[in-house]
Structure 1
Amino acid sequence: MKRLRFFVQPFVPPIEAPQFYINGDLMKIVNQFKYLGSTLTPICSLDMEIQTRINLASAAFGRLRTRVFLNNDHKNGTKTAVYLAVCISTLVYASETWTPCRRHIEMLENVHTRCLKRIFGISWEDRVTHEELYRRSNTTIEAMLAKRHLRWLGHVIRMPDHRLPRQILYERLSHGNSSAGGQKRDIRTTLKLF
């Protein structure tokens, strides 16, 4: 017969959430909200943000599909330029501070590949590799993300020491302990990957 073991935690009173009022109205506490076009969550997960970006870029592509991308009067170079200016800029909006995992980059690359195939009129029967598609469009999502991260990093490094973004970039854990298990990815780790 197995012995059951119990662990009794000491009673800790629940911490009340702070209450903020604006013009006499109480602000609600929410799990996510949009700020400057980005979806922010308490756990800083990119899943919802990536899905929102994919939906917005797909909608932009759909609105331009018949007039631009499927129009045979336009050259492929023109179609690609419009795609990069409208759809890709929507897809990677505010990506400078993202800390994407491999699965996030793959999700973005899948959308990019699907759109490029429609622009160039390529079906699965044509057996065109993804590398060939990227060569024709002259870009990959991973390369764009790396370029945006490095450009943002250059801005932060040139900031004076008293600016908050620079302090956060160079900060270390001054007191307390790291949480057990794998640490959440931060911007420094992401930049090392590129």
Structure 2
Amino acid sequence: MAISKCASQRPYTERDSIKLTVEGEPVEQISNFVYLGANISGDGTIDRDLYIRIQRANAEVWNTTKKQMKQSEVFHLTSLRRILKIKWFFHVSNEEVLRRAGIKSTETFIGAARLRWYGHVVTMPETRFPSFLLDWKPNYGKRLRGRTRKGWMACVLEDAAEFTGVDNISRDAVKQLALKRVE
């Protein structure tokens, strides 16, 4: 990796390159790379790593399992307990922690983001890629044995049922609700 002496220089430039060869083969020089999940930049800042982490936390297109949702909720509540200075030996319930913080659970935030994205995709023209993929079914291949994995649309239907209070809400009903942006 090329590391710049000048902190103001952001991208890797040809001027910073060193002609390095190993057994006669030139070694490629880069301005950033991923190591143990962190994005290491040649300029020494964490700007790119921070941007990538924020993008990964965006929950609009996640189809989450119960295990993943539980892990997310545990992290969220642990963070809230630290912020509110609630020690483990106080035996405060999760609901009480959320009430004291004045916020809802992570599951609610992720569900709302999914529904917001779904509403955005439904109103797109059908020529746009996300809108095309919403109803796309592959014409080839075989389904694997066993129960099918829960897809993103199944998560959207569960979120819509949670927010509207209607059990077993249909896909068409959710689409109609999404087209009525004000409601």
TM-score (structure 2 length as normaliser): 0.54
Which residue in 2 is equivalent to 1:41? none
1:167 aligns with 2:137: no
Q: How far off is 1:150 after superposition?
A: 0.4
Distance 1:90 1:134, change over 3 A: farther
1:146 to 111, 114, 131: 111
Distance 1:139 1:90, change over 3 A: farther
Q: How far off is 1:90 after superposition?
A: 4.0
Which residue in 1 is equivalent to 2:95? 131
Which residue in 1 is equivalent to 2:85? 121
- Separation in structure 1 between the aligned mates of residue 98 and residue 157 of structure 2, nearest angstrom: 24
Q: How far off is 1:92 after superposition?
A: 6.6
- Separation in structure 2 between the aligned mates of residue 90 and residue 162 of structure 1, nearest angstrom: 29
Larger fraction in helix: 1
Q: How far off is 1:170 after superposition?
A: 1.1
Would you say how many aligned residue pairs link Structure 1 and Structure 2? 112
Question: Which consecutive unaligned segments of at least 5 residues does structure 1 have?
Answer: 1-32, 35-51, 56-85
Q: How far off is 1:182 after superposition?
A: 2.3
Question: Which consecutive unaligned segments of at least 5 residues does structure 2 have?
Answer: 1-32, 39-49, 160-183
Contact in 2 for aligned 1:149/1:191 (Cα 8 Å): yes
TM-score (structure 1 length as normaliser): 0.51
Q: Percent identity?
A: 26
Contact in 2 for aligned 1:92/1:145 (Cα 8 Å): no
Structure 1 runs of 4+ aligned residues shifted over 6 Å read: none
